[in-house]
Amino acid sequence: MKLHEAPSPNARRVHIAMAEKGIEIERVPVDIRAGENLSPEFLAKNPGGRVPVLELDDGTFIGESVSISRYLDAITDGPSLFGDTALAQAQIDMWQRRAEINFFNEVAGAFRNITAIFKDRETCVEAWGHVCAAKASKALNMFDDQLAQTPYLAGDQFSIADISLCVAVDFARAVKVVELPELDNLKRWQGELKTRASFSAS
């Protein structure tokens, strides 16, 4: 297998999943600043033009970081990052989607529109970026409330939902486009996640 990737929060999600499952995969760098991900060669791998993309030995390509993580989880043993029972799978998927829709995507929208990092290939609206930033900041209260009741987002089991939210919070802190309120339960949860060896994976 090969992982076509560029440094990004989405690549980091896959790296953490790989480390949790004890998998090592050959990495193939993709220069997204130079637009390599928009080339015909790359678009043949992923018509969405996004990284990372997992290339299987039979020539199959899997795009989207959560889909890649799900595949890697399914082909390995050990506790599942996606749930071991029907109820756990539903709860993990629910919180994964909440993390992605309510926070991860809003942070990305704030970053792309406020910094205009890809203004050469997309329309950037700074005012919309600030709307995204405000929505992301407000959404953190929902996760803090949940973490007041459970050790992890979806209950007692560490999952892809935790990976997604923690990676997004780290990215928001790094790019400084979203105000991150001090929330005790989130702080406790993130401190505990940072003790996992997978969170230092690169």
pLDDT per 10-residue tile (average), the chain, 202 residues: 97 97 96 94 96 98 98 96 97 98 98 93 95 98 98 97 98 96 97 95 70
Supply the pTM of this predicted model: 0.95
Distance CA 33, CA 170 (A): 21
Do domains 2-74 and 86-200 share one topology? The answer is: no
Q: What is the pLDDT of residue 35?
A: 93
Cβ-based burial of 34 (10 A; exposed 0-12, middle 13-18, buried ≥19): exposed
Q: What is the pLDDT of residue 59?
A: 96
Other CB atoms within a 10 A radius of the CB of residue 180 amount to 14
Q: What is the pLDDT of residue 202?
A: 65
Q: What is the pLDDT of residue 148?
A: 98
Q: What is the pLDDT of residue 201?
A: 75
73 within 8 A of 89, measured Cβ to Cβ:
no
**Hey, CA dihedral for 50, 56, 58, 64, is it positive or negative?**
negative
Q: CATH 1.20.1050.10: does it fit domain 86-200?
A: yes
DSSP, residue by residue, 143-154: HHHHHTT-SBTT
Distance CA 27, CA 58 (A): 17
Distance CA 52, CA 68 (A): 8
SS3 assignment, position 77: coil
Domain locations along the chain: 2-74, 86-200
Q: CATH 3.40.30.10: does it fit domain 2-74?
A: yes
